[in-house]
Chains A and B, each alone.
Chain A
Amino acid sequence: MKPILTLFQRELRSYFATPVAYVFIVIFLLLSGAFTFYLGRFYERGQADLEPFFQFHPWLYLFLVPAVAMRLWADERKSGTIELLLTLPVTMGQAVLAKFLAAWSFVALALALTFPIWITVNYLGDPDNGVIVTGYLGSLLMAGAYLAIGACLSAATRSQVVAFILSVVVCFLFLLAGFPLVLDLFRAIAPQSLVDAIAGLSFLSHFNGISRGVIDLRDLIYFLLTIGFWLYANAVVIDLKKAD
């Protein structure tokens, strides 16, 4: 446990050692605000809830979370510090987990800084705060799933740019899996059970449930399993690729 904590602290601090963290947080806050008020028509809807805020998170994360994840392992491989890290007395699992948790905490911090919008909606009306809490929970879980994908793909290359693009593409596929665009295509060629399975893999369908205030155990398990799967894959990829 102790090594995880030490690694976690180092990682989290390294975000703030450069302007990257501040740039990320500012852009995240600006974009989430712009989406909510202009695209989501927060005022015009005349409803006291945060749906217009949460509904754009899958799209916002699509580009911002891979940007957080891309340096996780690609940078270690490029600078050679991966050799230092993996010859310290820590297990692969501890290293993978500590790095992921640090990145996740960082995204959580950015998400937490959107609190003024929560205050605003409470000032303007009388929202169901329970729904808003589950919305935040769902958003955080989805960010974790994006991050786990990004972390794994970041271990596959030395180049942060390649890691970023790969992550965006894979995350986009997971996002789109629930859309008619993709499902109709599969419906024509695959049995219904496969189509359902593909729809079941979509971030969007699981997130929509939680963000509307419905905590379905299956949605929670889905996100946690996705994170677990990609982190395991992360460890495997590091093991395979660390030599070159």
Chain B
Amino acid sequence: MIEASALTKRYGRFTAVNAVTFEVRVGQVLGFLGPNGAGKSTTMKMIAGFLSPTAGRAKVCGFDVETHPIEAKKALGYLPEGAPSYGEMTVRSFLEFIAGIRGLTAESKRRRLDDVIGRLRLEGVLEQTIDTLSKGFKRRVGLAQAILHDPPVLILDEPTDGLDPNQKHEVRRLINDMAENKVIVISTHILEEVHAVCNRVVVIAGGTLLADATPGELEARSRYHMAVSLTTDETAKARETLTAIPEVETVEIDPQNQRITAFPRKGQQILMAVGDALRAQGIAVRELQLETGRLDEVFRNITQSHLREAHA
């Protein structure tokens, strides 16, 4: 379990992280979302015990990272931003070094090494020095290092950055596999990742925590939530028809692909009404879809409105 309370980091007059408070429990995969420079990495570094907070405190599995750093670090697997590792070492000797520092016994060391090497498909590069590896393999070595001691808490700073789509998929599967009995925090600016692995999202911008919700709840904040979009050959006629429906607030047409989107009035269901109206007018619909909401739009709204307030 991770508890951050009023976690704050200032550099001189600049506040990188401003009184961020949240809690993550076992089984939760928390996605840390935010624009670049929002304070995601700084927050993670404070929880991992690398940076000391200016104010506030962080606890990992009940251990305050400032007063009981060794206990907290033992409970933690951490992948720093950019997945740094010792380039002159071979993958095998690097992982054995980590196992040694983590104090694994000979028996559990062999078992854990086999496990992570298998999970991250590192068999083929074990004897290669890390400097000679591709970006994808380097990232996987970093992940292997973080999960080697099977920690109850995992903090991964941009775990899929620089990976190709296949590798991304594998890393996400790995995270999903481990999610059930661990506390996992990942930072990302890739929104699709949130859908793929997270069951909770925290949005942070300008060092301030702006939203804390499930991906579904965030999507519900989108104006696209429960909107109906469709494509048809009779765009103009369809637009007229949809605008006439009382539950529909507005109708928009995407100038690029002529896709029509009908937005509902607050709290209204319009799917059935739209279907009935189109059928009544005899408009042939090529394809029709109920929107769940667009995370990128919500993300922009949340972070940019914060920026506007900050400038105002």
Contacts and interface: CB of A to CB of B under 8 A. Distances in A.
A88 B102 contact: yes
Contacts of B74: 89
Interface size of A as a range:
20 to 34
Contact of B84 (A2, A9, A17, A83): A83
B51 A243 contact: yes
A87 B86 contact: no
Interface string A1-45: 011001101100110011000000000000000000000000000
B145 A6 contact: no
B145 A10 contact: no
Contact of A84 (B51, B85, B100): B85
A87 B145 contact: no
B32 interface: no
Interface string B202-242: 00000000000000000000000000000000000000000
B101 A90 contact: yes
Interface in B52-99: 69-70, 73-74, 76, 78, 80-82, 84-89, 93, 97-98
A81 B101 CA distance: 15
B22 interface: no
A227 to B, nearest CB: 24
Interface string A155-197: 0000000000000000000000000000000000000000000
B39 interface: no
Contacts of A7: 101
A2 B99 CA distance: 12
Interface in A80-109: 80-81, 83-84, 86-91
Contacts of B145: 84
B148 to A, nearest CB: 11
Nearest to B86: A81
B11 A10 contact: no
Contacts of B102: 88-89
Contacts of A91: 69-70
A90 B11 CA distance: 26
B73 A87 contact: yes
Contacts of B129: 17
Given A6-B97, A6-B100, A87 B85 contact: no
Contact of B86 (A10, A88, A243): A10
B68 to A, nearest CB: 11
Secondary structure call for the A interface: helix
Given A7-B101, A83-B45, A89 B73 contact: yes
A79 B87 contact: yes
Contact of A86 (B50, B81, B86): B50
B48 interface: yes
A87 B101 contact: no
A243 B97 contact: no
Contact of A17 (B51, B81, B88): B88
A3 B80 contact: no
B159 interface: no
Interface string A203-244: 000000000000000000000000000000000000000110
A93 B73 CA distance: 16
Contacts of B70: 89-91
A18 B69 CA distance: 34
B34 interface: no
Contact of B101 (A6, A14, A80): A6
A87 B11 CA distance: 21
A17 B87 CA distance: 10
A6 B103 CA distance: 10
Given A87-B73, A242-B51, A17 B11 contact: no
A79 B84 contact: yes
Contacts of B48: 87
Given A6-B97, A17-B88, A80 B76 contact: no
A14 B86 contact: yes
Interface string B134-153: 00000000000100000000
Contacts of A6: 97, 100-101
Contacts of A79: 84, 86-87
Given A14-B88, A18-B88, A89 B51 contact: no
B261 to A, nearest CB: 45
Given A87-B73, A89-B70, A242 B84 contact: no
8 contacts: A3-B103, A6-B97, A10-B86, A17-B88, A80-B84, A84-B145, A87-B80, A88-B98
The 3 lowest CB-CB distance pairs between A and B, nearest first, are: A80-B84, A6-B100, A17-B88
Given A7-B101, A89-B103, 15 more contacts: A3-B101, A6-B97, A6-B100, A6-B101, A14-B86, A14-B88, A80-B80, A83-B80, A83-B84, A84-B80, A84-B84, A87-B78, A88-B98, A89-B74, A91-B69
Interface of A: 2-3, 6-7, 9-10, 13-14, 17-18, 79-81, 83-84, 86-91, 242-243
Interface of B: 11, 45, 48-51, 69-70, 73-74, 76, 78, 80-82, 84-89, 93, 97-98, 100-103, 129, 145
